Amino acid sequence: MEDEEFEGIEYVINIYYKQGDDLHSYLKSKKGDAKKALLAFADGIEANAESLEKLVKLFEGKELIVSSSRNRYIYLDGDKETLEKACDEGLIDWQEW
């Protein structure tokens, strides 16, 4: 992140949204083969789980707060340096408002 002092930034986990849309994409890429599409879908879910596990390990000994999970996004707060490192490692994103 370039401007760590900017107060209009929220950190967000972008793991999962619209499972039907995702499966549809896999079905298209696998030419309608349901078994191949479901296996590819499962691989994506496993990759997301691994990202969450890495995120938790990164915050070991540091503060991590889920500040909101009421809509389709999961917003985080906590140790700013570690949040920025998580962004740099591609584990989370940040949004500027």
pLDDT digits (tens, 9 = 90+) for 12-31: 876 665 778 888 999 999 99
* pLDDT for the residue numbered 56: 97
The CA-atom distances, in angstroms, between 40 and each of 21, 28, 30, 53, 90 are 14, 12, 9, 20, 21
Q: What percent of the chain has pLDDT over 90?
A: 62
- Supply the pTM of this predicted model: 0.75
